[in-house]
Structure 1
Amino acid sequence: MAVYVYSVVAAGHPQRLDGVDGVGDPPADLRTVHNGKLSAVVSDAPEDLRPKRRDLAAHQSVQERLMADGTVLPLQFGFVTSDDDAVKAVLGERAELFTERLRALEGCAEYHLKAAQQEEALLREILRESDEARRLNEEIRSGRNSPELPLALGELVAQEVEVRHDQRAAAVVDVLREFARDERLSQATGDDFLNVSFLVDRDNEKPFLSSEQGLADELGEDFDLRLRGPLPPYSFV
């Protein structure tokens, strides 16, 4: 039967899985596959596996339980292989890599931050600080009938938005990276100008959280900073 793989841990990890269910309906029983100094937490894989809420929650619960007792290399939802022997083979083939990553992630958790600025506030800021944008806007408002003016203003505003978003994203990351062991930037989508994950040592969690709150207070109510964590370190495996 196909095997669903949740995560990799050191063989010495407590691996307390009592009371935690695996994916599937009914939930699959969890077990461990060992090879040398490494173990993988697995279960039988359901035939109709889909990213349903219950299964996503089950996958996350396994990571959180393991994370509470030690370092974990969490796999993304949906990793399936042929059988336990295949899992054991991968543990052996990639033992050096897995061991290095476990060492790099020891004592750390992931914090994921997204940030956005209210569109109206950003447009007001651009009109206030850009002489050219303000001039174009005033000409349009005066009733001058030229199709080139809205186009020119739109292009200018788009450029200003990109520059300001890039500058603010860099400034936020620059402050918070002082308290992080590593960081991973992802493409921001929608209204967000920042999408970043930080690997934070447990000893630095309080100053990291305090700095993030300080940034939120400094930026003000026109900005929306959304921080999630502590999380299993998916972005750093």
Structure 2
Amino acid sequence: MAVYVYAITPATHPLRLDGITGVGEPAEELRVVTEGDLAAVVSDAPDGLRAKRRDVIAHQTVLQELLGQAGVLPLRFGALAPDDDAVRDALKERADNYRDRLAALHGCTEFHLKASCDEDVLLRDVLRQSDEARRMNEEIRSGQGGQDLKVSLGELVAAGVDARRESLAAGVVEALRPMAREIREADASGDDFVSVSFLVERERQNAFLEREADLAEQFGDEFSFRLHGPLPPYSFV
């Protein structure tokens, strides 16, 4: 039977699994597969597994419980292996890599931050800061500019907005960088100008949260900061 894999841990992890159940309906029983100084928390994989709410929550619950006991390498929802022997083989073959990442993640959790603002805010900034953009905009509004001028203004403003987004993102990341052990940036989408994950040591979580709150206040009401965490450190496995 296929095996569902939740996390990799040191074999010395407490691995207290009583009262915790896995994915599936009825919920599958958890067990531990050990190879040398590493272990994997697994269960039988139910047939036709899909990312249903109940199963996603079960996966997250297992990881949160394990994280509360000691460090883990969390696997994303849906990680499967053919059987327990295949799990042991993977632990053996990639033992050095797993040990390195467990050491890097020891005592840490992940926080994910997205920040956004309306494009109109950025457009106003560009027009306020660019003499050339203001001049072109005024000519167009007065009826003196033709289509070519409108195209040129659009290109100038678009480049300015992109530069402003990059500047804002860099400012956010640099302000929080000293509070994190590692950082992973992702492509922002929509009105977001930054999407970044921070690996934060548990004893620095409160300081990180305070720094993020201060930063959001400095940016002001026109900006929306959305911080999620603490989370299993998926982005750093």
- What range describes the TM-score normalised by the shorter chain of this pair? over 0.9
- The corresponding residue for 2:75 is 75
Deviations 1:176-231 (A, max 9, x none): 11011111111111111111111111121122111111110111011111111111
- The corresponding residue for 1:223 is 223
- The corresponding residue for 1:141 is 141
Q: Distance in 2 between matches of 1:76 and 1:25?
A: 19
Write the mapping of 1:198-237 to structure 2, written as runs, cut at 5 A. 198-237=198-237
Deviations 1:81-133 (A, max 9, x none): 10001001111111221111111111111111111122222211111111122
Question: Which amino acid letter does the alignment assign opposite residue 108 of structure 1?
Answer: C
Deviations 1:119-177 (A, max 9, x none): 22221111111112212222222234622222212111110111111111111111111
Q: Distance in 2 between matches of 1:73 and 1:115?
A: 27
Q: Distance in 2 between matches of 1:39 and 1:169?
A: 39
In structure 2, runs of 5+ residues without a counterpart are: none
Question: Which amino acid letter does the alignment assign opposite residue 54 of structure 1?
Answer: R
Runs of 4 or more off by more than 6 Å in structure 1? Answer: none
Q: Distance in 1 between matches of 2:14 and 2:41?
A: 12
- The corresponding residue for 1:12 is 12
Q: Distance in 1 between matches of 2:73 and 2:190?
A: 30
Q: Distance in 2 between matches of 1:153 and 1:26?
A: 61
- CA change 1:134–1:2 in 2 (3 A) is same
- The corresponding residue for 1:51 is 51
Write the mapping of 1:71-220 to structure 2, written as runs, cut at 5 A. 71-144=71-144, 146-220=146-220
Amino-acid identity (%)? 56
Partner of 1:156, secondary structure, is helix
Does the aligned pair in 1 maintain the 2:73–2:102 contact within 8 Å? yes
Deviations 1:4-48 (A, max 9, x none): 101001111111222222112222111111111111011111221
Q: Which TM-score applies when normalising by structure 1?
A: 0.96
Question: Which amino acid letter does the alignment assign opposite residue 140 of structure 2?
Answer: I
Question: Which amino acid letter does the alignment assign opposite residue 18 of structure 1?
Answer: D
Question: Which amino acid letter does the alignment assign opposite residue 207 of structure 2?
Answer: P
Does the aligned pair in 1 maintain the 2:14–2:69 contact within 8 Å? yes
Cα displacement (A) at 1:62: 0.9
Q: Which TM-score applies when normalising by structure 2?
A: 0.96
How many residue pairs get aligned? The number is: 237
Deviations 1:54-87 (A, max 9, x none): 2111111111010011101001111111000100
Partner of 1:22, secondary structure, is coil
- Bigger drift between 38-47 and 148-157 goes to 148-157
